[in-house]
Chains A and B, each alone.
Chain A
Amino acid sequence: MSQADLAIESLSPHGAEAHGAGVMEESPFAIPSSKLVMWLFIISDACTFGAMLFAYGFIRNSAADWPQVFESASIWNSLLMTFILVSTSLTVLFAVKAAQSEDRAGAFRWTMVTAAGGILFTLLHIREWLSLIGQGARLFQNPWGSPMFGAAFFSITGLHMAHVVGGVVALIVVGLSYRSGRYAARHIEIWALYWHFVDLVWMFVVPLIYLLNMKR
């Protein structure tokens, strides 16, 4: 993605893009168009994850031999990942606060802390993937039971991981550009929205993918 795309510049007259204030009708939501578009994207992306999780539930319910795979080490790992991701929701909030009070250095710092949390999350996740792969799990088979376990696990967590990686890249670009003054505070805020959403999706992934498939 280029920087121009991340900035999602619009013709909207609202907020900081107020070139047309006074000749336009008020937006019903009183937020910049770029923020509206992020909300709309989140709604649509929620449908995408909803469809993935529906497919998982459909397959899981119809399988006679769905494996219970995760040992306590995996669960602890996922809880650690959850802790990190939830913490970054807090740090990105600090970044937004700093940006809103025009503290460019502070906003940059918190954005980078958030991105670092995202990277750490991804690394832990990759480690988890590698460990499962090492035990013989593949997209199309696994040693424990229904071959669809691997398909569901890797596709859903993979889609989520792609969202995290995308968010990390976006946060780094937006943080750097905000520090250099090219971007405004609302850009930080918009990508913070996205980051919260990725966090929220994980809140569904953990119970449905990890806790339901815990070894008993």
Chain B
Amino acid sequence: MTWAQTIVDALKEHEISLIAYVPDSSIHQVTKIVDKDEYFHLVSATREEEALGIAAGAYATGRNAAVFMQSSGFGNSINAVAGLAIPSRIPIPIFINLRGEHGEFNIAQVTMGRSTRPILDVLGIPHYTLDSEERLGEKVKGALKLCYASREPLALCMTPLLHGGKNV
């Protein structure tokens, strides 16, 4: 099973049926599976903070929702996490493709990629780094369970060592 399918299966196990995202070439490996599966409603947002708002609304009406974005987009969405998900205690799993890691070719991606996990720490958001397929299902399912138990946003940071990265 591919890493992307393992993540999709974990989403289903936690009844996460709405995915809001901003396209990314590595995340595409997940969203192309989600898009073909009628279990999911895949919502293409114009900006990452919008994706968080949509996910928050879904949860408020009883539907579990996750968001997928690139680390640059996490930079765009910090206030949606700090001003909506955290004070309202809305559990939103945030899957972040960490740019600025092994093999990065674009200098403009380096700073936000490198800053993402420290920012998550300052926000008090638990985060786990997914950098290999080893025990991946266990890691993702366990993190999702924690997210809903704590009723807090939680981040899963995916690196090129997991998904192969972007080369051009």
Co-assembled chains A and B: no
Q: Which residues of A contact B (CB under 8 A)?
A: none
